[in-house]
Structure 1
């Protein structure tokens, strides 16, 4: 029989619970221990390089905290944009107000044409464009004018849409733009009068094309006949030229448009003042004292 040879192995290095930590050598940075605990020792403590794990966990926590801070910043930015003073909220409110004014104006204009009461509400068709231009800017007033014209194009056809654009849309856009820029009344009335006069002439030309008849020629011929009769009755035997008739016709259209725009400026100023927009208006001194 082969005798059994027993080799005495050195016991593993173990630290019991009663061993103080300050007794360990501070110069030993890494200490290797046996992965298998001694079954005869009570509750051994095995140390296995924990600082690296703690540092790695600390790095994960730091990165997660930074990520949470970035996400919180993004969320707070979105919430600020959706606040009543944010840019997104104001743009949405301007778009909703523009669409509501366009729908209301188109519906009222369509019903007034259908019921033949357009002359009673004609002075209010340019007001929504002026209000949106004063509140949200010139671009919003232009959007209101275009949206109303497109709505009338769908509801009533191209003739009513062009009529609204020439007689009311361009006038309201010009007035709202000038008031938004802070122009005085004299300049605003003069430019709006020109736009109104051109719109009236354009409206007559459209009607002339639709009925295949030159309405301007009929108007000038009637004016020429009336003046000739007046001169003959007065003892003046002279016939006015057609150039004088055209000049007289243009002057009458300009005076008519100017008086209408003056009354429209006066009406809109009082109406916007009652709406609480007096600070945005540049009114004459006599009107400020009267209001």
Structure 2
């Protein structure tokens, strides 16, 4: 590469050649500061230089003499990098914190734990349905979602719920995936979110009972659609016939209305869901306390004294 030098003098232009260097002298009447963000452009005028004169040159050096009144400082340059012909500036990426307390490590740990809990839940539910032992392990299907919600908040519980649903959708089909979502998934997400926020047992059991009841009714409606049979109507008709028989056997000549039948049906569903959620709260509290998460739980006084 041949050295090239440029210096500012008066108002003429000259080219000087030497053994190892070529000097450009740009002569102008006034000294102008060189902007930092723009690249140097060669002067646009014809240059008559013979290529043979450069055959023995080993380098070409370019030197710019900037007036002393406007010096270039390193602190003014910053972290920008000039690339391309148009002088586009790119900011160098900042170093990322990869320590155990950094945000990247925590996000990675959250993603790994949620995926493991989702895989475990989907595998257990799939095997339980395949072996027809779902009734024996149904109380543990919501536990991984509760743990994810308590450890990582709403975001972690939602990721575990969605990942489990998608896994069951691939393995077992939409019917089993919707069954898990309505009967176990939303219940576990609601319970874990309420426990994460520090809600009391009364509020948690009440809301989880409502969610469980709505999930049960939704499951009945989906089953009716798939079977092309109104299962809800069959339940209410059988309940009406049973209640009429009991009243007739008791000597009461009264036929219950359908409004009363629907009210009794709703009360029975709420009682069933309420008892199940109370037992589920008790079981999960004992299990999580044994896992070392007792400080994250808000237990009632009678349970704390018993534990």
TM category, shorter: 0.7 to 0.9
Cα displacement (A) at 1:268: 0.5
1:158 maps to which of 174, 177, 189: 174
1:137 is the counterpart of 2:123 = no
1:169 equivalenced with 2:185 (yes/no):
yes
Q: Match for residue 254 of structure 1?
A: 270
Partner of 1:82: 98
Please give the secondary structure, in 2, of the residue aligned with 1:239: coil
Aligned-pair CA distance for 1:82: 1.3
Matched residue, 1:128: 144
Once the two structures are TM-superposed, the CA of residue 76 in structure 1 deviates from its matched residue by 10
Aligned to 2:126: 110
Distance in 1 of aligned mates of 2:281 and 2:303:
11
**Shift of residue 84, structure 1, vs aligned partner:** 1.2
Q: Relative to total residues, which structure has the larger strand share, 1 or 2?
A: 2
Which residue in the other structure is 2:43 paired with? Answer: none
2:217 paired with 1:201: yes
Q: Work out the CA distance in 2 between the residues paired with 1:223 and 1:199.
A: 21
CA shift at 1:287, angstroms? 0.7
- Correspondence for 1:280 among 291, 296, 303: 296
Q: How does 1:202-217 map to 2 (within 5 A)?
A: 202-217=218-233
The equivalent residue for 2:7 is none
Distance 2:152 2:193 in 1: 11
Match of 1:187 in 2: 203
TM-score relative to the length of structure 1: 0.73
In 1, Cα distance between equivalents of 2:146 and 2:138? 14
User: Which of the pair has more CA radius of gyration?
Assistant: 1
Counting only pairs closer than 5 Å after superposition, residues 88-107 of structure 1 correspond to structure 2 as 88-107=104-123
How far apart in 2 are the matches of 1:175 and 1:284?
A: 16
Cα shift at 1:234: 0.8
What is the CA deviation profile of residues 8-55 of structure 1, one whole-angstrom value per residue up to 9, with x for unaligned ones?
Answer: xxxxxxxxxxxxxxxxxxxxxxxxxxxxxxxxxxxxxxxxxxxxxxxx
List runs of 5+ in structure 2 lacking aligned partners.
1-72, 79-91
| C-alpha deviation, 1:85, in angstroms | 1.2
The TM-score with structure 2 as length reference comes to 0.70
RMSD: 2.1
Q: CA deviation at 1:77?
A: 5.1
The structure 1 segments of at least 4 consecutive aligned residues displaced by more than 6 Å after TM superposition are none
